[in-house]
Amino acid sequence: APEEDNNSDIISDLTGHIGRWQLMWAFLLSLFQFPSTFHLFSFVFEGASKDFWCAAPDHLKSIPSAIWRNITQPKDGCSIIDFNFNEVSAKNFTDVLSDTFNVTLIECKSFQYDMDLIGKTVISEWQLICNRASMVSVVEMCFLAGAAVGSVCSGWISDQFGRRITLMSFATVQCCIGILLAFASSLSTFMVLRFISGVTSMAVLVVSFVLVVELVSGKYRTIIGILNLLPLSIAYMIITGIAYAARDWRTIQLIGTIPCFLLLVMWLNVPESPRWLLARGRTDELKEIINRIAVRNRISLPDNYEKLLISPPDVDATVSILDLFRGKFRRTTLLMTVIWFSLVLLYFGITLHMNNLGGNIYTNTLMAAAVEGVAILCSIIVVLKLGIRINLVIYMLVAGLACLMVNFVPDGNLWMIITLVLIGKCTIGATNAIIQTFTAYQYPTMMRNLGVGAGNFAAGVALIVVPYLWLMEHIQVFLPMTIMGGFGIVGAIALMLLQDRSPKTKRQQRVKKQCPPDHMKIPTNAFENSAYKHTET
C-alpha cells in the first residue's frame, strides 16, 4: 500500500511490514504488560482505605460495634473517652456510659477495622491511620518515584546495551521483588521494595513497548503499538478478581507475582530489535534475525542481501539525555514532556481514585477497566482513519472538558458526575493507548527509547503528584477535577504546537504532496543526519 511504502526501510523491504513472526512476538511481548500493570495497580487494593474505630477490651467484645462506637467515640475513630473500662461489663455497659458528652477524650492505643468489604491491607497492618494517615501517600509515592527513575534509566540502558537484555534483566528483578514484597516485615522494608518495584515495572513497560514497535513498520506499528496496551485493561480486571477472592494484601501480592516467572522462560528466545542492531552496526546478529523472520514468514531473501544492511556512519556515537534537547528535538522533547505530564495526571488521577466517587471498590474498578479496553480497541479504527495527532488533540480536549464540567453538575446528581468521569476515563484511556506509539514516531531509532523514557519520566512526576492532588478535595470537593481538566486543555494545546513526525493517512499524504518534502530539510547536526535518516522508518 502507498501508506506503507512511504514508511519503509531496509528491514521492512526484506522481511515485510508484518508477518507471522512479528505477530507472534508482538503477542508474547505484550504479556510483559501483565506483571507491570499488577504492581502499578495492586496498591489500589493493598492500600485501600477502610472504616476503623478504637478496639474494645476483650471482655467487651460482645457489644455490637455500632453501640460501642457511638458511646465511646463521640468525635472520630482516632479518639476514645477517658474511662476505666475494667469497671464495666457487657451487661451494664450502656447504663453506666449513657452520658459521654462532657468526658475527656484520649488517643486510641489499639484499633479494629471493618473487614467486610476489604480484608487485611497495608493500612490495617501498619496502622496508617489518624496521625499516620499521611504515610499512605508517602508509601504510594515510593512506587511512583521509582517508576519515574525507571522510565529514564531503562531508556538509556536499552539504547546502550540493547532492548532484549534490558527487558529480561528488569523482568527478572521485578519477579523477585514481587515475592519479597509479600514477606515484607516492616513498613520501611515495604517502601524500599516498592521503590525498586516501581523502577523495574516502568522499565519493563517502556522497553517491551519499544521492542514491539521496532519489530514492525508501516501502519502496523500504530496498530501493534496500541494493541500492546490492551493487556493493561485485562490485567486490571484480573487484579480486581484476585483482590476480591483473596482479601489479604500478602496473598494478593503472591498470587499476582508467581505467574510472572513464566515470562522468564522466554529469556533465550526473545529477539533483539533488528532496527537497533542496524543502528549499532551489528550486522551478523541482524542477519540471524532476518533469516529467522524469513523462515517463519515463508519469504525468500535476495542473494547477498547483507550488502544492503548499510550501517549509519556514526554507529559508535554515544546517545545521552542531552541529545533530546539539541537541534530539532529540543522543541519536540519539551512539548512531549508537557503532554505526558498532562495525560498521566488525568489518566491516573481518575483511574487510581475512582473510589472517591463512592460506591463499591470492585465495581468501580471493573467499570474503569472495561471502559479502558473499549477505548483502546476503538482508538485503532479512529487513528487509522484520521491520523494520530488529531485524535490525541480531540481526546485530550474532551477529557479536560469532561473534568471541568463536573463543577456545573447540580448538587446530588451522582450519576451525571459518574457519566462525565467515565467520558473522561474513556477518552484519556484512548490517549494513553496512543501516546507511546506517537512518541516513538517523534524520535529516530538511536533516540527512541530515550525519548519514550523522557516522556515516562514526566509521567512519573505526574504520578507522584496524583496522591497529593486528591488531598485538595478537602479544600473544595471538585478542585482536583478542575486542575486535571485544566491540564487536559494544556496538553491539547501542546499537541497542536508539536511538529508531527508520525505516519500520515492517505488523505494527509495527498495534502502533503503540495508541500516541500521532508528530504529537502537540512539536518542540524551530524548525529541527526546519521541516526535519523539511516535508521528511522
Closest CA to 333 of 465, 428, 447, 204: 447
To the nearest 10 degrees (0 to 180), the angle between helices 388-405 and 329-351 is: 40
* Distance from chain centroid for Cα 220: 22
Task: Report the first-to-last Cα separation within the chain, whole angstroms.
Answer: 15
Q: d(Cα 90, Cα 67) in Å, to the nearest integer? A: 11
CATH assignment of 7-48+127-312, among 1.20.1250.20, 3.30.70.1140, 3.40.50.150, 1.10.10.10:
1.20.1250.20
Largest CA distance in the chain: 98
What burial class does residue 381 get, using C-beta atoms within 10 Å of its C-beta: 0-12 exposed, 13-18 middle, 19+ buried? exposed
Enter the pTM of the model. 0.82
Measured between alpha carbons, how far is 36 from 228 in angstroms, rounded to an integer? Answer: 13
Residue ranges matching CATH 1.20.1250.20 in the chain: 7-48+127-312, 319-507
Residue indicated by cell numbers 508467581? 258
- Considering only CA atoms, which of 278, 279, 328 is closest in space to residue 305? 278
So what's the architecture of 319-507 in CATH? Up-down Bundle (1.20)
Cβ–Cβ under 8 Å, residues 280 and 444: no
**What is the distance, to the nearest Å, from the Cα of residue 382 to the centroid of all Cα atoms in its chain?**
22
Q: What residues are paired with 54 via a beta bridge?
A: 111
Q: How many angstroms separate the CA atoms of 504 and 497, rounded?
A: 17
Per-residue pLDDT of the chain (537 residues; tens, 9 = 90+): 434 444 567 888 888 888 999 999 999 999 999 999 999 888 888 888 888 899 988 888 888 888 888 888 888 888 888 888 888 888 888 877 766 566 788 888 889 888 887 889 999 999 999 888 888 888 888 898 888 888 778 878 888 889 999 999 999 999 999 999 999 999 999 999 999 999 999 899 889 988 998 899 888 888 888 888 888 889 989 999 999 999 899 999 999 999 999 999 988 899 999 988 988 888 889 999 999 999 999 888 888 887 788 765 555 456 677 788 888 888 889 999 999 999 999 988 887 776 666 667 888 788 878 888 888 888 888 888 888 888 899 999 999 999 999 888 887 677 788 788 888 888 888 888 888 778 878 888 677 767 877 887 788 788 888 878 877 877 887 888 899 999 999 999 999 998 776 666 555 555 555 554 444 443 434 333 333 333 333
Q: Which residue has the cell 467486610?
A: 116
C-alpha torsion sign, points 428, 431, 432, 435 = negative
**Rounded Cα gap, residues 249 and 42, in angstroms:** 9
Query: How many angstroms separate the CA atoms of 454 and 153, rounded?
Result: 9
